[in-house]
Amino acid sequence: MREVWSQSQDMLPPVGPAAARPTAQASAQPTQPMPSAALAGTSASARAPQIGPFVPTARLPRHVARVAQKIGRVTGVAGPVTTIELDAAPAGQAPPRAEIGSLAKIRTRTAHVVGIISSLRQTGQGPGPDTVVVEIILVGEMAHDGKSMSFARGVANFPSIGDEAFLAGHDDLAVVYCKGSVAALDIGTLYQDPSVPACLLADELFSKHFAIVGTTGCGKSSALACILHRALERHQYAHVIVLDMHGEYHRAFGAKAEVFRPDNLYLPFWLLNFQELRSVLTSPEDHHDAQSEILCDAIVVAKRRYADAAAGRLRNRTFDSATGTVDSPTPFRLSDLIAYIDEQLGKLERSYPTLAYRRLKLRIEALASDPRFSFMFGNPNMEDTMVDLLAQIFRVPGNGKPVTVIELSTVPEEILDVVILLISRLTFDLAVWSDGGLPVLLVCEEAHRYIPADDRRGFLPTRQSLSRIAKEGRKYGISLALLTQRPSELDTTVLSQCSTLLAMRLATESDQKVMRANVHDSTFGILEYLPLLADREAIVLGCGAPMPMRVKLNELAEGWLPGSGQVRFTDRWARPNMDRPRLEETVSRWRGRKL
């Protein structure tokens, strides 16, 4: 990890009686940035040694970092909003430069009150120079605890008229934003001062859900990878599951990830509960209710038959007729389902129309023979592999691979929601039945696709399952990470459960409006910068950040970047890209439905 500098009280303008004494710090002019030529003469390794997957970062040395600069005095206080009148610039000098989102501090009798600049305006209509007025939202205090400066949210000592205000210097920013503990994740640098690392509070981030939002191509996947790499550097026994919608993460974590695709992951259909099986096996046509009733009876009979057949070779019965239900995650065979339906069709008196039996049977047989569904229905050797499967997915033991990447880009659309539902429900059920013994981070890419704001869209059971995790998962050690480029299309109930937000570039007003409505820190005005953010820039708000901050995220090395899935047309069109043999192979895969 990069060095997190210590701070001392003498780096800040004095508090209390010492305030009357001039200090070199208070009278110093802002230090000019180091010329680019000076940085160019320093090797990258000397400036910032590469750590794991990250590109070396050229941070300004401490001796060129800016100092605290007096900007004016308090002219008004109204609750958390304090008004500052900026000092006039001396002749020949530029006035103090204050920007929305920058950190400022006000010296009171007992502490430095810290706030974020939320607005700037000019006043005055006369011939003299205009006065610049700044509004600051107060958020916390810095005080000396006898050993060093510390920062805490909340304000007990409000400013008074005439108190001096300063733009925060390097050491102030380091006190507020840097946490030199094992629970701090250095994810980049502050926009206000690139010499200061930007840190997230790991426990607050993971224990209360978080979301990463931003338009396509701004770096959401890289931001997630950056956070997880920092977490995995110190927490080798983590458990992370990534629902990868586009096949982006297979190379992002190297040897630390186990990657599953439909061709190497078998999710047995019998792990589905009845509601999930009904959505897969019944057709939404006439006699849907009748098919559901037939399926329910058939599943119970099939589970009983499997348990009876396996009783001789298993120590414990997989299905207890007295306590087992249609929802119990116990094995059964599709052949027993079909046999039950055939038995009912052979009877002269049936409880339901013949067409309902036939449609259900045809649907089961079609899925069992479709190669696209082989990862769920294609294993004829039915065994109780639930423990082995859970150990695989949830990395128990991890064996040096704490990340599970489940690639869903080739999963058929008809069953994609069911797979996501199954993984999310297994995550919740395992956490509940293990009494929270397995803390898990569940990453949901393209979250708006399966947790939509519109109740008429998406798959209701999937939305209900993830909503349950959002509301109750924290009690059992489940954390959600939601990634989306369309926060306005994401279920607002689920989004509101995310206590930390990494907002990257958002261009549309509807998305920005949702952000302002769901983040209590939105009054700082910092969200107005959302459409102007560059790639790899983010505004971090909420419990996972010491304070609202605009950051430049660490850059990942080329070999560790999640794949964007974007075709470079200029490169591909510069040379032949398809010949007849490849076209024939494509048609063969197409017809065989093998992705």
- Asked if residue 484 and residue 364 are part of one domain, the reply reads no
> Where is the domain boundary, 377, 402, 422?
377
Helix (H, G, I), strand (E, B) or coil at 534: coil
**Which CA distances in Å does 503 have to 323, 452, 466, 498?**
48, 19, 21, 12
DSSP state of 521: G
Residue 594 lies in a domain: no
Asked if residues 404 and 240 have their Cβ atoms less than 8 Å apart, the reply is: yes
Residue with the two structure tokens 């000397």:
46
Along the chain (595 residues), what's the average pLDDT of each consecutive run of 10 residues?
36 39 39 35 40 64 64 92 88 77 90 90 66 90 81 90 93 84 84 90 93 92 94 91 91 90 87 89 79 93 87 53 72 92 87 90 90 80 84 91 92 84 93 91 93 84 91 93 94 92 93 85 72 92 90 88 73 85 86 62
The tally of CA atoms less than 13 A away on the side-chain side of residue 160 is 5
- Asked if residue 431 and residue 547 are part of one domain, the reply reads yes
Q: How far apart are CA 225 and CA 201, in angstroms?
A: 16
DSSP state of 452: B
- Asked if residue 79 and residue 163 are part of one domain, the reply reads yes
Residue 577 lies in a domain: no
Residue 20 lies in a domain: yes
Q: What pTM value is reported for the model?
A: 0.81
Asked if residues 462 and 420 have their Cβ atoms less than 8 Å apart, the reply is: yes
Residue 590 lies in a domain: no
Helices (H) and strands (E) in the chain — how many of each? 19, 18
Look at the chain and report how many structural domains it folds into: 3
Residue 586 lies in a domain: no
Asked if residues 281 and 288 have their Cβ atoms less than 8 Å apart, the reply is: no
Q: How far apart are CA 179 and CA 176, in angstroms?
A: 8
pLDDT at 312: 59
Residue 203 lies in a domain: yes
> Where is the domain boundary, 360, 377, 394?
377
Counted residue by residue, the chain has a size of: 595
- Residues 6+ positions from 361 with CB-CB distance below 8 Å: 338, 341, 342
Strands (E), 47-148: 69-78, 81-86, 103-107, 112-123, 131-144
- Asked if residue 462 and residue 551 are part of one domain, the reply reads yes
The string of DSSP codes covering 319-334 is --TTT--TTS-----H
- Asked if residue 307 and residue 172 are part of one domain, the reply reads no
Residue 301 lies in a domain: yes
Helix (H, G, I), strand (E, B) or coil at 371: helix
- Asked if residue 483 and residue 370 are part of one domain, the reply reads no
* Domain containing residue 218: CATH number: 3.40.50.300
Q: How far apart are CA 276 and CA 281, in angstroms?
A: 9
- Asked if residue 95 and residue 23 are part of one domain, the reply reads yes
pLDDT at 473: 92
Domain assignment of residue 282, given as a range: 270-377
Helix (H) or strand (E) holding 549: strand 549-553
Residue 55 lies in a domain: yes
- Asked if residue 228 and residue 349 are part of one domain, the reply reads no
Asked if residues 175 and 149 have their Cβ atoms less than 8 Å apart, the reply is: yes
pLDDT at 57: 62
- Asked if residue 100 and residue 147 are part of one domain, the reply reads yes
Helix (H, G, I), strand (E, B) or coil at 373: helix
**Which CA distances in Å does 166 have to 66, 104, 157?**
12, 6, 17
- Asked if residue 443 and residue 323 are part of one domain, the reply reads no
pLDDT at 202: 92
Tokens of 374: 């082989």
pLDDT at 320: 54
pLDDT at 564: 58
- Asked if residue 366 and residue 287 are part of one domain, the reply reads yes
pLDDT at 223: 94
- Asked if residue 419 and residue 510 are part of one domain, the reply reads yes
